[in-house]
Chain A
Amino acid sequence: MDVPAKGGFSFDMCCRNGMMEKKGFKAPGFLKTGTTIVGLVFADGVVLGADTRATEGPIVADKNCEKIHYMAPYIYCYGAGTAADTEAVTAGRESRVVTALALLKSHLFRYQGHVSAALVLGGVDCTGPHLHTVYPHGSTDTLPFATMGSGSLAAMSVFESKYKEGLTREEGIQLVSEAICAGISDDLGSGSNVDVCVMTKGKTEYLRNHLLPNPRTYVSSKGYSFVLGQTEVLATKITPLKQAEVTIGDAMEE
């Protein structure tokens, strides 16, 4: 008889992995994808910022990736590490940041740190602006300013020396950009450009590539052309799409 799946992390593979390691099989290393993500609370809301470099070991895989994840109309989540796949609270109610926080931390705790997501979660809800950090094991912090990722120390040095309460929107964006630029220039795992997201009561602005300290300088003017016959065609199979006809009213007469 089939036992219904229980909740929680299944540790079955851990025995097998341990046995294989003992036999000499080297498990793939745990890659810390470099990144700088920051957030701060200003007078009217929250500003989040991130760099745009995605690394695979020593190689830059994506020069201009998007690290922001949309969670709910006024809640955004920046991820360092693996992508966060959480569902926001729906059903017409305005979601709260603490709800997203609780969902994230219980999900991550269930996986005992194996889901390696280190996140900066920020948003504005009916109770005001909130900024939280979430760690892979499920612990969270509530902070006025936060940084995560390999560039977090460089960014935190900017925040610790320049943050004050009651910043205006422009000052908040400026400080976040400065912190990300510190990560881009002083951390090897971060680079390329600066993405900023500003959340205030009732309004979210996603400033993609707000700063371009490393723009794409050479773009081929000739463009790329793919002429038919350039690549050898080995086989061709064409499946025509059938048009489905729906007649309204006839079904009732059957």
Chain B
Amino acid sequence: MASDTGASYGSTLRYKSVERIKAVGKHSLIGASGEFSDFQEILRYLDELTLSDHMWDDGNSLGPKEIHSYLTRVMYNRRNKFDPLWNSLVLGGVKKGPKGEEKYLGMVNMIGTHFEENHIATGFGNHLAIPILRAEWHEDMTFEEAVKLVEKCLLVLLYRDRSSINKFQIAKITTEGATIYPPYSLKTYWGFAHFENPAQGAVGSW
């Protein structure tokens, strides 16, 4: 899962080092876009959920499917009360099930729409990243291949989404646990010949 680390306040880039991906329990990662205060509230709900689950002390722990289901209920119920949590949430994780290691990736949004898919994006990612992911995702990619593909999408979003910034964070979840990597930036290319002197074909044109 990857996100950029910017949080805007209208057209002001207010915060530039925001962690938008967090680990939930032992088996899941949650990433959010939208209203950041609502995301913090959701993290508080998830803390309460995982804490009371831990207190049962029965050896079970909540997996990504359960967390996704819980979040769906929360989001849909808030929407029905006309007081939504203004977020698009991406929920991913791995948990050992009866059929072995079960990988899971899904999303919920502010109106309660939820689904499971092999590749998820929020906001402008739906328009710019999903076409790339649909064309180039395949089963059994290695971690390096996956990072490369995700970086491809992040770069396009950096070029074409005005609210994105050049500072990204990658997070990984496996059966060993969650790893959230430190932020880094991507190299951009602006050296196309046609960007220099666009009026070269007709001197004085505009």
Whole-angstrom CA separation of A18 from B135 in the bound complex: 47
Q: How many interface contacts (CB-CB < 8 Å) are there between A and B?
A: 65
Give the CA-CA distance A209 to B198 in the complex, in Å. 32
A152 to chain B, nearest CB (A): 9
Q: Of the candidates B128, B195, B198, B205, which one forms a contact with A153 in the assembled complex, judged by CB atoms under 8 Å apart?
A: B128
Contact call A131/B194, Cβ cutoff below 8 A: yes
- Once the chains are docked, how many angstroms separate the CA of A41 from the CA of B200? 15
Q: Are A186 and B134 in contact (CB under 8 A)?
A: yes
A149-171: CB near B (< 8 Å → 1, else 0) gives 00001101110110001000000
Answer yes or no: B10 CB below 8 A from chain A CBs: no
A101 to B199, CA, bound (A): 12
Interface residues on A, range: 20 to 34
Residue A53, interface by CB 8 Å: no
Whether A182 and B194, one on each chain, are in contact in the complex, defined by CB atoms closer than 8 angstroms, is no
* A161 touches which of B132, B192, B193, B195 (Cβ 8 Å): B132
Could you tell me if B130 and A128 are in contact, using CB atoms closer than 8 angstroms? Answer: no
For the complex formed, measure the closest distance between the CB of B117 and the CB atoms of chain A, giving whole angstroms: 14
Q: Shortest CB–CB separation between residue B178 and chain A, in angstroms?
A: 28
Closest chain A CB from B187 CB (angstroms): 14
- A interface residues, Cβ below 8 angstroms from B: 41, 96-98, 101-102, 127-128, 130-131, 141-144, 153-154, 156-158, 160-161, 165, 178, 182, 185-186
The 9 closest A-B pairs by CB, nearest first: A142-B198, A144-B194, A153-B127, A98-B202, A154-B131, A182-B131, A160-B156, A157-B128, A186-B131
* A–B complex contacts, Cβ < 8 Å, 21 sampled: A98-B201, A98-B205, A102-B205, A128-B201, A141-B198, A143-B194, A144-B192, A144-B193, A144-B195, A153-B160, A154-B127, A156-B156, A157-B127, A157-B131, A158-B135, A160-B155, A160-B160, A161-B132, A161-B155, A185-B131, A185-B134
Which chain B residues have a beta carbon within 8 Å of chain A's beta carbons? 124, 127-132, 134-135, 152-153, 155-156, 159-160, 192-195, 198-199, 201-202, 205
